[in-house]
């Protein structure tokens, strides 16, 4: 009896140890965070125009939304430290069955009730948000210019690595203004407010032109004549595309 009791105790102890070890392994797996990769492949047109590539920099945030067939499981900011992206979204064995969407810039107040959970593309998923999105009126600073550049993506999940990859696409259009004097000579390096009429939309100053992000469905009026002597021109650009315009000026 004593021998049987000892054996029983040993078996019970080993069972308890194994159960504890398995539980610890589950906890470690559950605490592993989702790995994020972001590719700004949709930048092509802007990068080739003048060498400016609106790549993400340290401190930038995108929003990541994880959904199943009927619910939004996560809506979290994903921060970039200059090398890697991090979002507080733990790995889950069911992640193979979820869909992953990303957008930039991150909006804490995003109305998730307007998202289309059944969507199979990012543009459809964010369709209501895209429709309501308003680019900054004053884009003369890089911060405001980037905040106007709405991008979205449908991610691809790799269960072997616990990584979801996003290729961001631009949902807005880009108007490029080349400023010339009455003599026909190009003018560059002047502040936007001295070239474009006060109270109007102010573009971002580039080395030899001015960039303005516009909503593809909501054209904006910009005076292109000298000292606003002509009627404004309605500026409309398709999503992910750019259009060149000539803006005339009498000088600074």
Claim to verify: residue 153 and residue 179 sit in the same structural domain: no
Query: Which CATH number do you get for residue 143?
Result: 2.60.40.2620
Q: How far is CA 233 from CA 103, 149, 181, 246, in A?
A: 31, 22, 18, 11
Claim to verify: residue 47 and residue 164 sit in the same structural domain: yes
Please name the residues in contact with 178: beta carbons below 8 A apart, sequence gap of 6 or more. 186, 208, 209, 244, 245, 246, 247
Give per-residue pLDDT as tens, 163-205.
999 999 999 999 999 998 877 788 777 778 778 865 578 999 8
Domain end marker among 148, 170, 192 = 170
Claim to verify: residue 206 and residue 105 sit in the same structural domain: no
Claim to verify: residue 111 and residue 158 sit in the same structural domain: yes
pLDDT of residue 53: 56
Domain count, the chain: 2
Q: Give the largest CA-CA distance in the chain.
A: 111
Claim to verify: residue 46 and residue 146 sit in the same structural domain: yes
- Whether residue 125 is predicted with pLDDT greater than 90 in this model: the reply is yes
Claim to verify: residue 48 and residue 150 sit in the same structural domain: yes
Q: What would the mean pLDDT of 135-158 be, rounded to a whole number?
A: 92
Query: Which CATH number do you get for residue 194?
Result: 2.60.40
Q: Tell me the percentage of the chain whose pLDDT exceeds 90.
A: 46
- Whether residue 246 is predicted with pLDDT greater than 50 in this model: the reply is yes
Asked whether residue 91 is assigned to any structural domain, the reply reads: yes
pLDDT of residue 13: 35
> Does residue 88 contact residue 75 with C-beta atoms inside 8 Å?
no
Asked whether residue 180 is assigned to any structural domain, the reply reads: yes
Claim to verify: residue 41 and residue 159 sit in the same structural domain: yes
* Band (16; pLDDT cuts 50, 70, 90): very low
* Band (161; pLDDT cuts 50, 70, 90): confident
Asked whether residue 6 is assigned to any structural domain, the reply reads: no
> Does residue 175 contact residue 212 with C-beta atoms inside 8 Å?
yes
Domain end marker among 153, 170, 187 = 170
Q: What would the mean pLDDT of 133-143 be, rounded to a whole number?
A: 92
Asked whether residue 67 is assigned to any structural domain, the reply reads: yes
- Whether residue 4 is predicted with pLDDT greater than 50 in this model: the reply is no
Domain that holds residue 236: 173-249
**H or E element that contains 18:** helix 2-31
Q: What would the mean pLDDT of 212-220 be, rounded to a whole number?
A: 93
pLDDT of residue 1: 40
Q: What would the mean pLDDT of 59-76 be, rounded to a whole number?
A: 94
* Band (32; pLDDT cuts 50, 70, 90): low
Claim to verify: residue 136 and residue 184 sit in the same structural domain: no
Residues in a beta bridge with 242: 174
Query: Which of the two residues, 8 and 120, has the higher pLDDT score?
Result: 120
Kind of pairing, strands 151-154 and 99-104?
antiparallel
pLDDT of residue 230: 72
Asked whether residue 165 is assigned to any structural domain, the reply reads: yes
Domain end marker among 114, 135, 170 = 170
Claim to verify: residue 36 and residue 159 sit in the same structural domain: yes
In whole numbers, what is the pLDDT of the chain averaged over residues? 79
- Whether residue 17 is predicted with pLDDT greater than 50 in this model: the reply is no
Claim to verify: residue 143 and residue 177 sit in the same structural domain: no
Claim to verify: residue 157 and residue 193 sit in the same structural domain: no
Claim to verify: residue 152 and residue 213 sit in the same structural domain: no
């Amino acid at each position: 009896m004593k021998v049987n009791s000892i054996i029983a105790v040993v078996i019970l102890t080993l069972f308890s140890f194994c159960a504890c070890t398995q539980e610890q392994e589950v906890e470690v797996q559950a605490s592993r965070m989702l790995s994020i990769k972001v590719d700004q492949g949709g930048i092509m047109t802007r990068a080739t125009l003048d060498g400016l590539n609106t790549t993400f920099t340290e401190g930038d945030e995108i929003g990541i939304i994880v959904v199943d067939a009927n619910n939004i499981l996560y809506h979290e900011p994903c921060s970039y430290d200059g090398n890697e992206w991090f979002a507080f979204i733990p790995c889950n064995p069911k992640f193979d069955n979820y869909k992953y969407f990303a957008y930039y810039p991150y909006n804490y107040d995003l109305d998730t009730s307007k998202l289309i959970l059944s969507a199979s593309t990012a543009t459809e998923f964010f369709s209501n948000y895209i429709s309501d999105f308003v680019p900054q009126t004053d884009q003369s600073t890089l911060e405001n210019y980037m905040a106007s550049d709405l991008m979205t993506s449908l991610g691809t999940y790799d269960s072997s690595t616990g990584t979801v990859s996003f290729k961001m696409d631009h949902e807005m259009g880009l108007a490029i203004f080349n400023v010339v004097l009455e003599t026909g000579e190009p003018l560059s390096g002047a502040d936007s407010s001295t070239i474009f009429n006060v109270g109007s939309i102010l573009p971002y100053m580039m080395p030899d032109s001015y960039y303005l992000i516009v909503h593809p469905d909501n054209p904006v009026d910009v005076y292109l004549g000298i000292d606003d002597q002509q009627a404004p021109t309605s500026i409309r650009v398709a999503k992910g595309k750019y259009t060149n315009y000539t803006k005339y000026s009498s000088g600074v």
